[in-house]
Structure 1
Amino acid sequence: MMPQRSYRRVSPEVRKAAVEQVIALTESLSSESEACRVVADQIGVHTNSVRNWVRAAQGSSPERMDATALRREVALLQQQLAAAAEMNRALADTLNESRRRT
């Protein structure tokens, strides 16, 4: 029979402090993963917990997005750009036509 794991509740304040400490340590250590490990050891939680807190705090930045999500984002931006370019052409045509009338 496997022993039951017990998970400790960590307050939002401790999580925030841990994230700030990881960010500060990342500059002096070899990687963010190493910083997460050091902070996790200090507060007695699993390294992945700290890593998840850091990722949640950073949000969905392009650095964190996977290739599929980036391709979707690029496709959406290309569609928006094409729509804006079409609108710009239509406005330019309207402006040129009104100038010809006057």
Structure 2
Amino acid sequence: MMPHRSYRRVSPQVRQTAVEQVVALTGKLRSESEACRVVAEQIGVHTNSVRNWVRAAERPGLDRLDAGALRRQVALLQQQLAAAAEMNRSLVDSLNETNRAT
């Protein structure tokens, strides 16, 4: 039988402060992951918890976006997808040309 795991509740204020610390430390340390690890050790939570808080703070959830914001987000993603598809076509064409030349 596995032991029962208990999770410590962390207040929204502590989470917000942790996110702010990660943002401040990211430029000073090698990576965001290292910043999350340092902050997690300071407040006694798992690194992934801090990483999840940072991700959640980076962008609002879909349930909090209005219809106009969702349409803008979809339009932006469609533009990015079209640009990526064009880049892929260009790379395939270059590869095919290189293969024909050899």
Category of TM-score, reference length = shorter chain? 0.5 to 0.7
CA distance in 1, matches of 2:81, 2:34: 35
How many residues are paired up?
Answer: 68
CA distance in 1, matches of 2:79, 2:26: 33
Task: Using the TM superposition, give the Cα deviation of residue 3 of structure 1 relative to its aligned residue in structure 2, in angstroms.
Answer: 1.1
Task: Using the TM superposition, give the Cα deviation of residue 73 of structure 1 relative to its aligned residue in structure 2, in angstroms.
Answer: 1.7
Query: What is the aligned partner in structure 2 of residue 74 from structure 1?
Result: 78
SS of equivalent to 1:33: helix
CA distance in 2, matches of 1:4, 1:77: 45
Task: Using the TM superposition, give the Cα deviation of residue 34 of structure 1 relative to its aligned residue in structure 2, in angstroms.
Answer: 0.4
| Runs of 5+ consecutive residues of structure 1 not aligned to the other structure | 61-69, 79-102
Tell me the TM-score normalized by structure 1: 0.60
Query: What is the aligned partner in structure 2 of residue 4 from structure 1?
Result: 4
Task: Using the TM superposition, give the Cα deviation of residue 77 of structure 1 relative to its aligned residue in structure 2, in angstroms.
Answer: 9.0
Identity %: 72
Task: Using the TM superposition, give the Cα deviation of residue 74 of structure 1 relative to its aligned residue in structure 2, in angstroms.
Answer: 1.6
RMSD: 2.5
CA distance in 1, matches of 2:78, 2:56: 22
| Runs of 5+ consecutive residues of structure 2 not aligned to the other structure | 61-73, 83-102
SS of equivalent to 1:2: coil
Query: What is the aligned partner in structure 2 of residue 22 from structure 1?
Result: 22
> 5 Å matches for 1:1-102?
1-59=1-59, 73-74=77-78
Q: 1:76 to 1:24 in 2, by over 3 A?
A: closer
Amino acid at match of 2:18: A
Tell me the TM-score normalized by structure 2: 0.60
SS of equivalent to 2:27: helix
Q: 1:76 to 1:51 in 2, by over 3 A?
A: closer
